[in-house]
Structure 1
Amino acid sequence: MASAYYEFYRGSTIGMALTDSLDELITSGAITPQLAMKVLQQFDKSLADGMFKNVKTKVTLKGHLRNYRNCDDVWTFFVRNPAFKMEGNEQVGAPKIKIIACKSMEA
């Protein structure tokens, strides 16, 4: 059965740490690969649900769009010299960013 949630949070720092820990547990025989997959699927669901329900901050983004693509309703944008203006007028910048946007499961 395919997961109804995107797996891109697995590439985050916490997702990679979880994957490494699960690999160690599989190698030591403490858990099965099937259980590890269930844990990762729950991680995908929990993180997506948590982001949808808890992140309410609005941000304005300005930068130079270098490239974009769309594949299977997942948009990827590559932006150089982005400037984020957050609520309260706090500003944050970076040399480059990648934005991944997908259709909400709640839509």
Structure 2
Amino acid sequence: MSLNYTMYRSTTIGEALERTLEEFASDETITKNLVKRVLLNFDKAVNTKLATQVKNRYTFKANKLRAYRFCDNVWTFVMEDVEVKDPNKQATKYAHMKIVACDASRKG
């Protein structure tokens, strides 16, 4: 699995998983190698589920594109004054938004 697909480790559940695994490793309950394997499985599972089971489509419109970049097959967009519409056409406004997008079909 490419490092590009570790972005979900910065979510609440990903951070909690990493903290728990670090505690287990420091107590020598599990090995560092097992920690790496669990995190790689987490990365793979999250990406697979999002690619195959999430069907909602959101639309967004930003008044200002502050920055964008493409590096290692990953797009990053930083926007201001963004309106997001859910599938039911309910709109929510955000002052700032960052979107990170990568090719879920890539083999790494």
Q: TM-score, normalised to structure 1's length? A: 0.91
Matches within 5 A, 1:72-87: 72-87=72-87
Matches within 5 A, 1:49-64: 49-63=48-62, 64=64
Whole-angstrom distance in 2 between the partners of 1:17 and 1:78? 26
1:17 aligned partner:
16
2:70 aligned partner:
70
What's the secondary structure of 1:104's corresponding residue? coil
What's the secondary structure of 1:66's corresponding residue? strand
> Percent identity among equivalent residues?
35
Question: Once superposed, which parts of structure 1, at least 4 consecutive aligned residues long, lie more than 3 Å away?
Answer: none
Q: Are 2:37 and 1:35 equivalent residues in the alignment?
A: no
- Give the gaps of 5 or more residues in structure 2: none
- Give the gaps of 5 or more residues in structure 1: none
1:100 aligned partner:
100
Whole-angstrom distance in 2 between the partners of 1:58 and 1:6? 21
Q: TM-score, normalised to structure 2's length? A: 0.90
| Aligned residue pair count | 105
Whole-angstrom distance in 2 between the partners of 1:93 and 1:33? 43
Q: Give how far 1:106 is off.
A: 6.2
Whole-angstrom distance in 2 between the partners of 1:57 and 1:47? 16
Higher relative contact order (CA 8 A, sep 6+): 2
Whole-angstrom distance in 1 between the partners of 2:56 and 2:28? 43
